[in-house]
Amino acid sequence: MLISNLNLGLLLAAVASAAPAPNLRAASVLPLSTKGHNIIDANGDVFHFKSSNWPGHQEIMIPEGLQHSSIKDIVAWFPKLGLNSVRFTFAIEMIDDHLANSPNQTLERSVLNAIPGANGTKVLDQILEKNPQFTKNTTRLQVWNAVGKELSSQGVIIHLDNHVSKAFWCCGDDDGNGWFGEEYFNVDNWQRGLAFMAKFAKENWPTFSSIGLRNELRPAKVSEPVDWYTWYVHMTAAADAVHEANPDALIFFSGLSYDTYIDPIPLGKTLNGTAGKSTANKTANFVPSDFSWKDKIVLEIHKYDFEATQDDCATFKSNWYQKGFQSVNPNDKATKYLFPMVISEWGFIQNGTYWNQTTYAKCLVEMVKEYQVSWQHWEMSGSFYLQTRPNRTPNTLVGLDEAWGLLNYDWSSIRSPITLENSLYKMIDALS
Ligand SMILES: *[C@@H]1O[C@H](CO)[C@@H](O)[C@H](O)[C@H]1NC(C)=O
Ligand SMILES: *[C@@H]1O[C@H](CO)[C@@H](O)[C@H](O)[C@H]1NC(C)=O
Ligand SMILES: *[C@@H]1O[C@H](CO)[C@@H](O)[C@H](O)[C@H]1NC(C)=O
Ligand SMILES: *[C@@H]1O[C@H](CO)[C@@H](O)[C@H](O)[C@H]1NC(C)=O
Ligand SMILES: *[C@@H]1O[C@H](CO)[C@@H](O)[C@H](O)[C@H]1NC(C)=O
Ligand SMILES: *[C@@H]1O[C@H](CO)[C@@H](O)[C@H](O)[C@H]1NC(C)=O
Ligand SMILES: CC(=O)N[C@H]1CO[C@H](CO)[C@@H](O)[C@@H]1O
């Protein structure tokens, strides 16, 4: 963002007049709730998430980047880039370990179990050097707590996202994390973990606002039946658990097929089971007034550019609209229920040219301008501690660069200023 002299002047004036600290300002807009297709803050004003993702769901199960930078410096990037919030991703495995009082939760065991040998020792030493408030015995949850507290003290609104059950890169077909009842996706542990984190965040982080029930649900060969009826049963039960643990939190509902569509919910379609399976002939209807959390429901959708789109923006928008944006259009006769929509993942390679190689970046901005929906960019991270992907050779890479990250490899500066000027900053402007 170009900080003009005028903005700088205002900033200095604000500092001089002892404006409330960012933490108090941010916390004072909470809790959030919904009204029709809007998210509204505690003062009744429309609120938009302008976020980037900060992953913490991979093998080590602590937020990425701590071997390169202090928590304080990483958190400072959010306001510096003009973002008001973070989508903070976690694994259910972390809560399972915590509740089992596992010895593997310490920083030392977390790092060395994930990266055995000298490479792991080096990462551990770097984390402790950059963040000397921790020791080898600090637990994952203590690290999370420190990060959440720093986000709160710098006024960054916190949205938690349950990204996976078993902690590794998300998401692939049949990777065990994709659908209810799949190899790692134990439904009871998932609901317990969501409730735990919603409560933990409420008790510890003044700027905690919301939680996403599950990232990118997707088909699986061995799991409960993959259908909207099953979605309804488990997602509404999870929302009950979250709401009981933290009645203030917004609850984000993702759709099917890697969260690329959720239109049956705003359209009020019957949610069906699957012929020949245990859900055959079963149906449900997602009627918001049925739920005690009716004013906390937010829909989320993801959009990437896998088809390298060259569509003009009118085409891009009308195709995408059909996937769930009926929820934010009171004038659409097909819309049965209004809900706020959040584009909870979008992004692309930050290499200085891709933003203009397809129409994706430009059309996303137009979509946000037209429908005034919140968004959460993928992602802040310049690199990962390690990343294991089932279908890649080698499976595991230590210290992998993240070419899509807003930050560079060692999290010390912006990776591609021209890309930011033509995407992230325009997405911010689209909501001002
Ligand atoms: C701790 O991690 C080690 C190494 O991965 C594993 O063998 C052990 O079973 C784990 N212990 C618990 C209690 O999870
Ligand atoms: C340690 O990491 C480097 C890359 O940073 C890699 O080349 C090497 O194979 C790793 N060693 C082990 C034992 O995994
Ligand atoms: C970590 O815990 C172990 C076992 O309880 C203890 O012996 C050791 O002194 C602790 N180390 C630090 C740095 O706190
Ligand atoms: C469920 O089945 C009914 C009847 O066939 C159909 O009208 C409806 O569109 C189906 N729902 C979804 C979400 O496809
Ligand atoms: C589902 O409904 C069909 C048609 O009414 C019926 O033939 C079938 O037995 C039912 N299946 C189950 C599992 O109830
Ligand atoms: C950026 O990435 C795109 C997609 O991979 C590629 O086509 C393009 O050549 C890259 N640009 C640069 C400068 O490397
Ligand atoms: C796809 C796209 O947005 N292309 C643009 C790339 O930049 C040139 C020059 O600024 C524009 O004319 C293109 O429309």
Question: What is the structure's pLDDT at 20?
Answer: 67
Determine the residue type at 269. Answer: K
Question: What is the structure's pLDDT at 125?
Answer: 98
Give the residue-averaged pLDDT of 96-118: 98
Residues 6+ apart with CB under 8 A from 314: none
C-beta 413 within 6 A of ligand 3: no
Ligand 6 centroid to Cα of residue 383, in Å, is 18
Exposure class string for 220-248: b at 16+ Cβ within 10 A, else e: beebbbbbbbbbbbbbbebbbbbbebbeb
Question: What is the structure's pLDDT at 13?
Answer: 41
User: pTM, whole model, 2 decimals?
Assistant: 0.94
Separation of alpha carbons 313 and 235, rounded Å? 33
Element (H, E) at 205: none
Closest CA to 69 of 377, 381, 351: 381
Ligand 6 centroid to Cα of residue 377, in Å, is 19
Q: Give the angle subtended at the CA of 57 by the CAs of 126 and 352, to the nearest 5°.
A: 75
- Residue with CA closest to ligand 3 atom 4: 137
Q: Give the angle subtended at the CA of 178 by the CAs of 395 and 227, to the nearest 5°.
A: 155
Separation of alpha carbons 176 and 316, rounded Å? 32
C-beta 399 within 6 A of ligand 2: yes
Place of tokens 């203590």: 142
C-beta 109 within 6 A of ligand 3: no
Closest CA to 406 of 150, 3, 55: 55
Question: What is the structure's pLDDT at 145?
Answer: 98
Give the β-pairing of 297-303 and 250-254: parallel
- pLDDT, tens only, 166-225: 999 999 999 999 999 999 999 999 999 999 999 999 999 999 999 999 999 999 999 999
Number of domains composing the chain: 1
Ligand 7 centroid to Cα of residue 356, in Å, is 6
Ligand 7 centroid to Cα of residue 6, in Å, is 30
- Residue with CA closest to ligand 3 atom 14: 137
Question: What is the structure's pLDDT at 5?
Answer: 39
Question: What is the structure's pLDDT at 23?
Answer: 75
Question: What is the structure's pLDDT at 358?
Answer: 98
- Please list every protein residue whose CB sits less than 6 Å from any atom of ligand 7: 356, 359, 362
- Please list every protein residue whose CB sits less than 6 Å from any atom of ligand 6: 349, 351-354, 357
Which ligand has the shortest distance to the CA of 135? 3
For residue 317, the domain's CATH number is 3.20.20.80
Domain range spanning residue 79?
Answer: 5-430
Which ligand has the shortest distance to the CA of 309? 7
- pLDDT, tens only, 310-354: 999 999 999 999 999 999 999 999 999 999 999 999 999 999 999
